[in-house]
Amino acid sequence: MAGLRLDGIAHRTLAPIDLALDAGERVFVSGPSGSGKSLLLRAIADLDPHRGEVWLGAEPRSRMTPPVWRRRVGLLSAESFWWAETVGAHLPASQTSGPDSGYVNDWLAKLGFAPDVLDWSVTRLSTGERQRLALVRRLAQRPEALLLDEATANLDPVNRDRVETLVETYRHEQEAAVLWVSHDPEQRRRLGGRAFVIGDGRLEPET
Ligand SMILES: Nc1ncnc2c1ncn2[C@@H]1O[C@H](COP(=O)(O)OP(=O)(O)OP(=O)(O)O)[C@@H](O)[C@H]1O
C-alpha cells in the first residue's frame, strides 16, 4: 500500500496545504463548523474546484481517471447517497456472493448486522444504519487510502466503537492511509496519532 501526500491543496477558504501521510497512518483533522474540513476531503477526492496535486505513493492523481482515483482514495461523506432499492444492490455482485463475500459478511457482523441486511430496502435505514452501511460499501471497493468525514457522528457509543475498530483493523491490515475529520476530542485522544486543526483558513498541528 501507499502513502497519501497533499501537495499545495487549496480551496475557496483554505490556504495551500502540504501534508504527507505514511501508508497505514491515521491523521485527524478538526476545526470549527464551516472552516473547510469537508471541502478539503472533497478537494482530495477531486469532487470540487481546487488547486494542487495529490499523490498516492508515487502516482499523482492527475495521471488517473477520476473514477479510478475515487475508488483508490475512498471518501466516506458525512451523508451517504443511496440510489438502488436494496442495500446489497449498492455492492459489487462479486462482494456479496462468491469467494470475496466473506469480507463483506465479516464487516457487516463487526458493525452489528446480520447478512440479511443486504436484502433490506434502503428506505427503512436509520441515520446510524446508513452511516455504518456506507462504510461497508466504501470498504468493498478496497480503497488504498480513506477519507472519513465525521464517520461516527450519528452513532451511539457501542456502534461508534464498532466503526472505530473496523477502520483501525482495515488500516492496519491494508496499510491504508486514513485522513479522518472528527469533531470529537475524546475520539482523537482515544485513538491517538497526529492531529491537525483548520482555523483561519490554515491547517495547523493540534496542540
Ligand atoms: N458550493 C459552495 N459554494 C459556496 N460556499 C460553499 C460551498 N460549499 C461549501 N461552502 C462553504 O465553505 C465553507 C466550508 O464548508 P465545509 O463543508 O468544508 O465546512 P466544514 O468545516 O466541513 O463544516 P462542518 O463541521 O459544519 O461540517 C462553509 O462556509 C460553507 O458554507
Helix or strand run (H / E) with residue 16: strand 14-21
Please give the order of strands across the beta sheet that includes 26-30. Answer: 73-76, 145-149, 177-181, 26-30, 194-199, 202-205
What's the whole-number mean pLDDT along residues 142-146?
96
Ligand 1 contact, 37 CB (< 6 A): yes
Q: Region of 34 please: left (phi>0), alpha (psi -120 to 50) or beta.
A: left
Average pLDDT value for the chain:
93
Ligand 1 pocket residue status of 94, Cβ below 6 Å: no
Atom 7 of ligand 1, nearest CA residue: 39
Task: Tell whether the model's pLDDT for residue 180 goes beyond 80.
Answer: yes
Tell which CATH architecture fits domain 4-82+142-205.
3-Layer(aba) Sandwich (3.40)
Q: Is the pLDDT assigned to residue 154 strictly greater than 90?
A: no
Domain boundaries, the chain: 4-82+142-205
Say how far apart CA 33 and CA 47 lie, in whole Å: 20
Task: List the beta strands (DSSP E) in 40-87.
Answer: 51-56, 59-60, 73-76
Q: Region 6-15: what's the mean pLDDT? A: 92
DSSP state letters, 156-201: -HHHHHHHHHHHHHHHHHHT-EEEEE---HHHHHHH-SEEEEEETT
13 close to ligand 1 (CB < 6 Angstrom): yes
Read off the pLDDT of residues 78-98 as tens digits, 9 standing for 90 and up: 999 999 999 999 998 777 777
pLDDT at 103: 86
Is pLDDT at 41 greater than 90 in this prediction?
A: yes
Say what the alpha-carbon torsion angle 107, 187, 149, 37 is, to the nearest 10 degrees.
-160
Q: How confident is the model at residue 1 (pLDDT cuts 50, 70, 90)?
A: confident
Q: Which residue's alpha carbon is nearest to atom 11 within ligand 1?
A: 34
pLDDT value of residue 151: 94
Atom of ligand 1 nearest to the CA of 40: 18
Tell me how many helices (H) and strands (E) the chain has: 7, 10
Write out pLDDT tens, residues 53-74: 999 999 999 999 999 999 999 9
Ligand 1 center to 86 CA (angstroms): 31
